[in-house]
Amino acid sequence: MEKFPEDTPALHADLIIHDAYVVTMDQKYRLFEKGAVAVANGIIVAVGNTRDVLERYGAARMIDGRKMLLMPGLVNTHTHSPMTIFRGYADDIPLKQWLYDHIFPVESAFVLPENVRLGTKLALAEMIRSGTTTFNDMYYHSDEVAGVVDKAGMRAVLTEGLIDFPVPNSPTPADALRFSEEMIQAYRPHPLITVGVSVHSVYSASSLVYQQAFELAGKYGVPFNTHLAETRWEFDLIMDRYGVTPARYLDDIGVLGKGLILAHAVHLTDSDMELVALRGAGVAHNPQCNMKLASGVAPIPRLLELGVTVGLGTDGVASNNDLDMFDEMRSCAFSHKITQMDPTVMDARTVLEVATIGGARLLGMDAQIGSLEPGKRADMILLDLNRPHAHPVYNLYSLIVYSLRGSDVHSVYVDGKPLMVNRELLTVDEADLFEQVEALARDISSHREELTAKKIGQAGVSR
Amino acid sequence: MEKFPEDTPALHADLIIHDAYVVTMDQKYRLFEKGAVAVANGIIVAVGNTRDVLERYGAARMIDGRKMLLMPGLVNTHTHSPMTIFRGYADDIPLKQWLYDHIFPVESAFVLPENVRLGTKLALAEMIRSGTTTFNDMYYHSDEVAGVVDKAGMRAVLTEGLIDFPVPNSPTPADALRFSEEMIQAYRPHPLITVGVSVHSVYSASSLVYQQAFELAGKYGVPFNTHLAETRWEFDLIMDRYGVTPARYLDDIGVLGKGLILAHAVHLTDSDMELVALRGAGVAHNPQCNMKLASGVAPIPRLLELGVTVGLGTDGVASNNDLDMFDEMRSCAFSHKITQMDPTVMDARTVLEVATIGGARLLGMDAQIGSLEPGKRADMILLDLNRPHAHPVYNLYSLIVYSLRGSDVHSVYVDGKPLMVNRELLTVDEADLFEQVEALARDISSHREELTAKKIGQAGVSR
């Protein structure tokens, strides 16, 4: 290799963040106390000690990361982003009643293109502010979602939910399926948006819908999502109806396999877990939603032992009630420790792994994102440690999982581009956004009584 | 009453916050969408709709609370504030090992007056920033803690921990007891600081120490704290040693009664709970610490049913790892819903009650603080709703407990005096604070190996 004169960086980068604590989440779990990351053309080109990186690289944009922590952006593997407009609409009630008496009715009336755009925008503001750089979404009007996400510059997997009764945007699941394929094709060239496929659940969609969705996902090699075994009620219903567990039912109809993302997976038997591991399906774990709706605690430590790929998710805001993955990480650690009565399970590093590279693996994106290493896309977040709760620093994983919060995120980069710097959003316009959301909420509230009386989708669950 | 000319406010206040969402937590749970609170001489003189309050009161200092939420300051009923210096020092390990192999040894070496001052200052910065206005502390060198708290203008109950082996500041529990009495006397005239009494635990202190502490607390009518039934290990140990449960043991030695604050109270039998209710003792509930250390979930819904006074606490930072009561509220709701498998238990309003007026009641301060109502001291916090996660607003209790976070706290008032305005701390100087803490942490880290090998207090727990 040619020799460059001393003091002249040999290679050009666009952006270098230096002198930060760097948590890579690479295979060696490398940590740097005074670390640097260099980015060129949206790709990480160097990660290491500041001195080493600055010997090899120079950049027009140098960011001083002192008193900051640089880590991979968080990957939210299960959410319904436009549902931000229903934040706090119905709390402290059981899941089935929450879903059928409140959420499905209010969705049937208010999930219109303009409201989906508004809810998505609110979600993006919240996600960027709390350090999420990639999310996996299941909702309706996914074309509207995609338009807003594209503008914001977030990385996302977007899907249209398939369900057996008429839903916003699709009178039948066949319509939603057709729409999904059009969307997949339309977004194939997009650098940040992948369109995938979603079936709502085994209690709300037929085996035919699952099989068609499975084929479609396979045809294009895109992620395939479904809610599975979220509640005891669902488990019992499927056992009654088909004589097998929800997980085995998916296997029986031939769709349990690699690329399938099981959201929740709370009620799995031991043999279900082995089956999921054997088939290579993955799990999107939503601890806060599962606790808040009292659905149960997913057997994540055992699934990880079996080698199942696990990502972390917030679920939709109507059940959680936020999109903050830092909060979710803490709840993830806490819920498993207390369930197992063992404080050593789901230690901080394992939790962070699930929230970053694990999520990337679940979405089939681990070659591109999920850790800070040369060759990967530069999806990364910088946290400001200039706060009392960020001191002292004995262990960076403990610090991130047990002490830091979404509000400590200072800057967010996706594909090397800044979406937030010093807590100022650069790609989502918050002006009037909250007022618009409040105006919609007033409208929704004024219809609450008639909506609650509505019956949506109940045929599918009558026994 | 004399009539005043129209348009002339009749009465003078020092401060009026107007046009905010006001959550009072008074006995009628009054809420105001455009509410106001007027404060004079540190006392709340009016609470109501802005129009009504402004008809009766004027003030030199008027604060526009639009897009803000005003509520009572949070009451942290159990913590060890100077332990901030051990944040993240030892995580993901069982309580007994955590306490005896890590915390007691590092405390014996590093709990010195100057470090207690430093840790307390860090704790105060964190507590004020996250909306706590009163805290109940158990530690060593409580005179040092008191000095720092006095300067910061926080309201607190401070106590010196009594324990059977030599601890920082006290070679014997008799010394700590004498010290406690001097402190109680010295702080009797203080407007904000109450000195109480604390015995560490039934496994680390004798019945004699409990009885002397009980007498001292009774003599001065101050709060009396003890850790109780935190772990299964403690429960079994006490059963083995005395043939009764920890709660019944306290009753047998004559100290279970009104004014006693039981921190944790995780492992209570049904008859223990009835006994606690009958004797009028209260419980300081620390859900995050109990989850993180896998100690168990305290039977709070049942205790509340029995009429036991319950407050919320964070416990010390070494186990939690933060002092954020918003985070603690969320975990409180989640942990009970999932344990009971019932999403209706510990609804948002109940959780907020435990974190405010319930805590005030536990500390014997409910006549002064815990709710926004005329005649009470003006301990209150103003939250900024100009954030994506704070919208929409359907239900104020849901918003506070499930969506807002400590970082949304905009201003904090204790006794009507501002401790933070627009996130700027007014009474705690953060300059160099974090650097000092990091320097101490480096010193502590460099001694970790020799400290871990030390054995402290083990005699008391050998069986």
The confidence score (pLDDT) of residue A9 equals 58
**DSSP one-letter string for A314-344:** ---HHHHS---HHHHHHHHHHHHHHHHT-TT
The confidence score (pLDDT) of residue A375 equals 98
Best of B232, B334, B429 to disrupt the A interface (most A CBs within 10 Å) is: B334
How many Å apart are CA A37 and CA A372, to the nearest integer? 8
| 3-state secondary structure labels for all residues of chain B | CCCCCCCCCCEEEEEEEEEEEEECCCCCCCEEEEEEEEEECCEEEEEEEHHHHHHHEEEEEEEECCCEEEEECEEEEEECHHHHHHCCCCCCCCHHHHHHHHHHHHHHHHCCHHHHHHHHHHHHHHHHHCCEEEEEEEECCHHHHHHHHHHHCCEEEEEEEECCCCECCECCHHHHHHHHHHHHHHHCCCCCEEECEEEEECCCCCHHHHHHHHHHHHHHCCCEEEEECCCHHHHHHHHHHHCCCHHHHHHHCCCCCCCEEEEECCCCCHHHHHHHHHHCCEEEECHHHHHHCCCCCCCHHHHHHCCCCEEECCCCHHHHCCCCHHHHHHHHHHHHHHHHCCCCCCCHHHHHHHHHHHHHHHCCCCCCCCCCCCCCECCEEEEECCCHHHCCCCCHHHHHHHHCCHHHEEEEEECCEEEEECCEECCCCCCCHHHHHHHHHHHHHHCHHHHHHCCCCHHHHCC
The confidence score (pLDDT) of residue B452 equals 80
The residues near A124 (Cβ < 8 Å, ≥ 6 apart) are: A81, A148, A149, A152, A154, A428
Q: How many CA atoms are closer than 13 Å to the CA of A410, on its beta-carbon side? A: 18
Chain A residues with beta carbon closer than 8 angstroms to that of B291? 334-335, 337-338
Burial of A3 (0-12, 13-18, 19+ CB in 10 A): exposed
Choice among A231-245, A272-286, B90-104 with the minimum mean pLDDT: B90-104
* Position B459 pLDDT exceeds 60: no
User: What average pLDDT is seen over chain A?
Assistant: 95
Contact B129 A388 (CB under 8 A): yes
Q: Which two tokens stand for residue A253?
A: 């109809």
Compute the nearest-CA separation of A41 from chain B (Å): 31
Contact A389 B324 (CB under 8 A): yes
Contact A327 B331 (CB under 8 A): no
What is this model's ipTM? 0.95
For residue range A152-210, what is the model confidence (pLDDT) as tens digits? 999 999 999 999 999 999 999 999 999 999 999 999 999 999 999 999 999 999 999 99
φ/ψ bin of A312: left (φ > 0), alpha (ψ from -120 to 50), beta (otherwise): beta
Q: Evaluate whether B261 touches B296 at the Cβ level (below 8 Å).
A: no
The confidence score (pLDDT) of residue B313 equals 98
Q: Evaluate whether A146 touches A89 at the Cβ level (below 8 Å).
A: no
The SS3 call for residue A311 is strand
Q: Which residue has the higher pLDDT, B10 or B188?
A: B188
Chain A residues with beta carbon closer than 8 angstroms to that of B327? 327, 330, 405
State mean pLDDT over A74-92: 97
Q: Which two tokens stand for residue B417?
A: 């005096």
State mean pLDDT over B297-310: 98
The confidence score (pLDDT) of residue A3 equals 47
State mean pLDDT over A33-55: 98
Share of chain B above pLDDT 70, in %: 96
| Eight-state DSSP code of residue A62 | E
Chain B residues with beta carbon closer than 8 angstroms to that of A447? none
The residues near A429 (Cβ < 8 Å, ≥ 6 apart) are: none
State mean pLDDT over B237-262: 97
The confidence score (pLDDT) of residue A6 equals 56
* Position A462 pLDDT exceeds 60: no
Q: Which residue has the higher pLDDT, B4 or A261?
A: A261
- Give the chain B residue nearest A233 (alpha carbons): B341
How many Å apart are CA B38 and CA B62, to the nearest integer? 9
Can you give the pTM of this predicted structure? 0.96
* Position B78 pLDDT exceeds 50: yes
* Position A5 pLDDT exceeds 80: no
pLDDT tier, A320 (very low <50, low <70, confident <90, very high otherwise): confident
* Position A460 pLDDT exceeds 50: no
The confidence score (pLDDT) of residue B8 equals 59
Question: Which of B290, B337, B391 comes nearest A434 by C-beta?
Answer: B391
Classify strands B224-228 and B260-264 as parallel, antiparallel or unpaired. Answer: parallel
The confidence score (pLDDT) of residue B381 equals 99
The confidence score (pLDDT) of residue B6 equals 56
φ and ψ at A53, to 5 degrees?
-65, -45
Q: Which residue has the higher pLDDT, B125 or B451?
A: B125
Q: Could you tell me the residue ranges of all domains in chain A?
A: 11-72+372-425, 74-362
The domain covering A74-362 belongs, at the CATH homologous superfamily level, to: Metal-dependent hydrolases (3.20.20.140)
Chain A residues with beta carbon closer than 8 angstroms to that of B440? 392
State mean pLDDT over A225-244: 97
How many Å apart are CA A98 and CA A106, to the nearest integer? 11
Compute the nearest-CA separation of B177 from chain A (Å): 32
pLDDT tier, B451 (very low <50, low <70, confident <90, very high otherwise): confident
pLDDT tier, B461 (very low <50, low <70, confident <90, very high otherwise): very low
- Give the chain B residue nearest A326 (alpha carbons): B327
Share of chain A above pLDDT 90, in %: 92
Architecture of the B11-72+372-425 domain: Roll (2.30)
Question: Which of A288, A331, A386 comes nearest B434 by C-beta?
Answer: A386
- Give the chain B residue nearest A423 (alpha carbons): B387
* Position B342 pLDDT exceeds 90: yes
The confidence score (pLDDT) of residue B62 equals 97
Compute the nearest-CA separation of A319 from chain B (Å): 10
The SS3 call for residue A395 is coil
State mean pLDDT over A62-90: 98
Q: Evaluate whether B70 touches B20 at the Cβ level (below 8 Å).
A: yes
* Position B1 pLDDT exceeds 50: no
Chain B residues with beta carbon closer than 8 angstroms to that of A434? 67, 385-386, 388, 390-391
State mean pLDDT over B38-51: 98
User: What average pLDDT is seen over chain B?
Assistant: 95
C-beta neighbour count of A305 within 10 angstroms = 11
The confidence score (pLDDT) of residue B163 equals 95
The residue type found at B76 is N
Contact A392 B87 (CB under 8 A): yes
Chain A residues with beta carbon closer than 8 angstroms to that of B67? 434
State mean pLDDT over A26-49: 98
